[in-house]
Structures are given as C-alpha cells and as structure tokens.
Amino acid sequence: MKGRVIKSTGSWYTVKTDSGNIQARLRGKFKQDDLKLTNPIAVGDYVEVEREEDQPTSVIKEILPRENYIIRKSTRKSHFSHILASNIDQAFLIVTLRNPRTSLGFIDRFLVSTESFRIPATILVNKMDEKYKDKDLEYLQDLKEIYEPLGYPVIEISALKADNLKEQFIPLLKGKTILLSGHSGVGKSTFLNKLVPEAQQATKEISKFSAKGVHTTTFAEMFELAEGGYLIDTPGIKEFGILDIEDQELSHYFVEMRQYLGQCKYNNCRHINEPGCMVLEKLEEGFIHPYRYDSYVNILFEEDDHR
Ligand SMILES: Nc1nc2c(ncn2[C@@H]2O[C@H](COP(=O)(O)OP(=O)(O)OP(=O)(O)O)[C@@H](O)[C@H]2O)c(=O)[nH]1
Ligand SMILES: [Mg+2]
Ligand SMILES: [Zn+2]
C-alpha cells in the first residue's frame, strides 16, 4: 500500500493512505544515495507500507524517489544533515524585521537550497501589525528591492491580526504542498493555524531575554487544507548550512547570476577575481545587488565541515 508521511516523531511515522492514517515504523537499513541523514524518512515522502502481522501498525518497506527536498545541517552533529521536508511545490520563508531580524545571509542560504531544485519561493514578512522604527522599515524596503526583481515575491502579512489570510492565500496554496520555514518565533505555526484551524499547533511568545523564539514546534508536520493541498509546519531553524553544492555550481543557484554564467572568460570561473568575469562586470554595472554578491562570497568560502 502506498502513502505519504505526514508526521515524524523519531521512530514512528504517521502515513496518510487512501484508507486513513496509519502508524508505521522503519525496519532494517535504508540506502540513501550519498546523503548522511539524521532522519532517513522525512515529512512529504511517499512510501510503500505493509501491515505488520497480528499488529495494528505497519512497516515502511520502501521510500519512493524524492522529487526534491529541503535540507539543513543537523544542529547536533554538523557532519549530518536533516531533511526538513520533501516533494514540495512551493516554499514560504517567513521572516521578521526585528526581534529577531531575519538576515539577508539567512534568506539567501534558504533561496540557494530552494533554487537547487527550482522550487518557487515566497518571502512572507510577518508581524506587520507591530510598530517599527524607520531603520526596520528601510530593511523592509531593501527586502522588496532585492528580492522582488529576482522573482521572489515579498508579501507583508500579520498572521496574528489579519482576518483575510484565507482569502489571500488559499488561491495560492490550493492543491499544492507548501513548506513553511524560518527562524523560531517568526510565526510559522500562527500562520498555519489561521489557514488550517483544526491544526491547533502550539505557539509561544518569543523570549524577552534573548528576543528569540523558544523552539515551540519540535518536529515537522503536514496539515491538509480543507480547500485541498498541504501546509508543512517545521521547527524554527537557526542557520542554513549549504550542502552538497560544488563551488562551480553555487552561482547557478543565484538567479541573477545564472544568465551570465556562460560568458565568463574561464569556464571554471568562481567570480571572485578572475579576469574577464562577466558576473563581476555585471556587479560593477549594478545588475547584481552587492548584498546578494556578498552572500554568494560568504557561502562560497563557508567552513566546509561536512565533508
Ligand atoms: N504581533 C504579532 N505577533 C505574532 C504574529 N504572528 C505570530 N506572532 C507571535 O509570535 C510568537 C511566535 O509565534 P509562533 O507561531 O509560535 O512561531 P513559530 O515560527 O511557529 O516558532 P517555532 O515553532 O519556535 O519555530 C507568538 O507569540 C505569536 O503570537 C503577528 O503577525 N503579529
Ligand atoms: Mg511553530
Ligand atoms: Zn565569472
């Protein structure tokens, strides 16, 4: 019997099948390409399950090939990585302007991971009901100026206060599997609860002491929209480690660089200081945003502790 993993709590998985939700576990080892994973099965995976003899539970026999996945370095063991979710159609990155501010570096790392599978991404700027200082609003302006021209919509919302979220988002979500991601405390679960009221995901105030979220959601879970489609609530992430991307490959995942890539003098150009580099030329001419280029360089020279 085939099904889709909608929840994973360590050793048990909830699998949605045509004949209802079942509890299943893994038996034996799974071969996983070259990925060193802390979780062999992720929310969103399509699996083949089989009923255990004389038991109400089932066993996952096989995992079907993943169309895509979003991966991050495990916080506990940096040599391993963790799949946030798989087989997704669209990613919503929820960010905030302050307490804490989501950095451009974080956003760009996230976008590299979605671009590597060409998963469309949208940036939701949440908590717009709060009062902001000018410098925070300037940051909002930066986000719009940097990301909208690249094809990443930047949408201001208030997950807590807005009463039209359904009207606004259901048409965008219908029939799709959508990943909600972002730092702890940005309002992922609050957003989810508005769109899927039955979900009743716990939400919690950010810490007054550290002005950071307190990691309320501790595992990924997929919820079905009454209107069709799925939203995946995930635990807040501190940072995104970029995995399994070669130096040469990285610029392919910066959409604004992609169009110039065949035009550098050297075909192994890393766009740092090479003569005849078209990316550097376009940066100079203002066609590539300097903040984005900074992120590119930071990721390129990031400590490579996962190999
Ligand atoms: N003012 C305001 N507060 C919000 C908004 N959305 C969420 N919050 C508050 O922010 C806090 C954190 O919200 P959560 O939904 O728990 O955040 P989360 O992203 O799920 O956090 P983790 O599960 O820890 O990753 C809660 O106190 C929410 O009430 C908003 O639009 N405006
Ligand atoms: Mg949450
Ligand atoms: Zn170049």
> Is 279 known as a binding-site position?
no
- Examine residue 74 and state whether it is found in any structural domain, yes or no: no
Residue position matching structure tokens 């717009």: 128
On whether both 9 and 89 belong to a single domain, the answer is no
> Is 103 known as a binding-site position?
no
Atom of ligand 1 nearest to the CA of 202: 16
On whether both 183 and 104 belong to a single domain, the answer is yes
On whether both 114 and 181 belong to a single domain, the answer is yes
- The predicted model gives 1-22 an average pLDDT of 93
- Examine residue 90 and state whether it is found in any structural domain, yes or no: yes
Name, of 27-36, 68-77, 222-231, the range with top average pLDDT: 222-231
On whether both 229 and 263 belong to a single domain, the answer is no
Which pLDDT value is given to residue 11?
81
Query: Which ligand is closest to the CA of 281, given by its number?
Result: 3
Domain that holds residue 166: 85-233
Atom of ligand 1 nearest to the CA of 94: 19
Give me 206's structure tokens. Answer: 């950010």
> Is 190 known as a binding-site position?
yes
Which pLDDT value is given to residue 35?
64
Which pLDDT value is given to residue 30?
64
| Gap from CA of 189 to ligand 1 centroid (Å) | 7
Q: Is the pLDDT of residue 161 over 70?
A: yes
Query: Which ligand is closest to the CA of 266, given by its number?
Result: 3
Which pLDDT value is given to residue 238?
85
On whether both 58 and 89 belong to a single domain, the answer is no
> Is 189 known as a binding-site position?
yes
| Gap from CA of 268 to ligand 3 centroid (Å) | 8
What's the chain look like in SS3? CEEEEEEECCCEEEEEECCEEEEEEECCCCCCCCCCECCCCCCCCEEEEEECCCCCCEEEEEECCCCCEEEEECCCCCCCEEEEEECCCEEEEEECCCCCCCCHHHHHHHHHHHHCCCCCEEEEECCCCCCCCHHHHHHHHHHHHHHHHHCCCEEECCCCCCCCHHHHHHHHHCCCEEEEECCCCCCHHHHHHHHCHHHCCCCCCCCCCCCCCCCCCCCCEEEECCCCCEEEECCCCCCCCCCCCCHHHHHHHCHHHHCCHHHCCCCCCCCCCCCCCHHHHHHHHCCCCHHHHHHHHHHHCCCCCCC
> Is 44 known as a binding-site position?
no
Nearest CA to ligand 1 atom 13: 187
* CATH assignment at residue 43: 2.40.50.140
| Gap from CA of 183 to ligand 3 centroid (Å) | 33
| Gap from CA of 127 to ligand 1 centroid (Å) | 8
On whether both 12 and 98 belong to a single domain, the answer is no
On whether both 173 and 207 belong to a single domain, the answer is yes
On whether both 111 and 174 belong to a single domain, the answer is yes
- Ligand 1: lining residues by beta carbon, under 6 Å: 126-127, 129-130, 158-161, 182, 184-190, 203-206, 213, 215-217, 235-236
Instruction: Identify the weakest region by mean pLDDT among 106-110, 202-206, 244-248, 276-280.
Output: 244-248
Which pLDDT value is given to residue 74?
59
On whether both 25 and 102 belong to a single domain, the answer is no
On whether both 217 and 260 belong to a single domain, the answer is no
Query: Which ligand is closest to the CA of 221, given by its number?
Result: 2
Nearest CA to ligand 1 atom 22: 184
pLDDT tens by residue, 119-136: 999 999 999 999 999 999
Q: How confident is the model at residue 61 (pLDDT cuts 50, 70, 90)?
A: very high
Dihedral of CA atoms 104, 105, 111, 114 in degrees, nearest 10, equals -140
Number of domains in the chain: 3
Q: How confident is the model at residue 76 (pLDDT cuts 50, 70, 90)?
A: very low
- The predicted model gives 194-207 an average pLDDT of 94
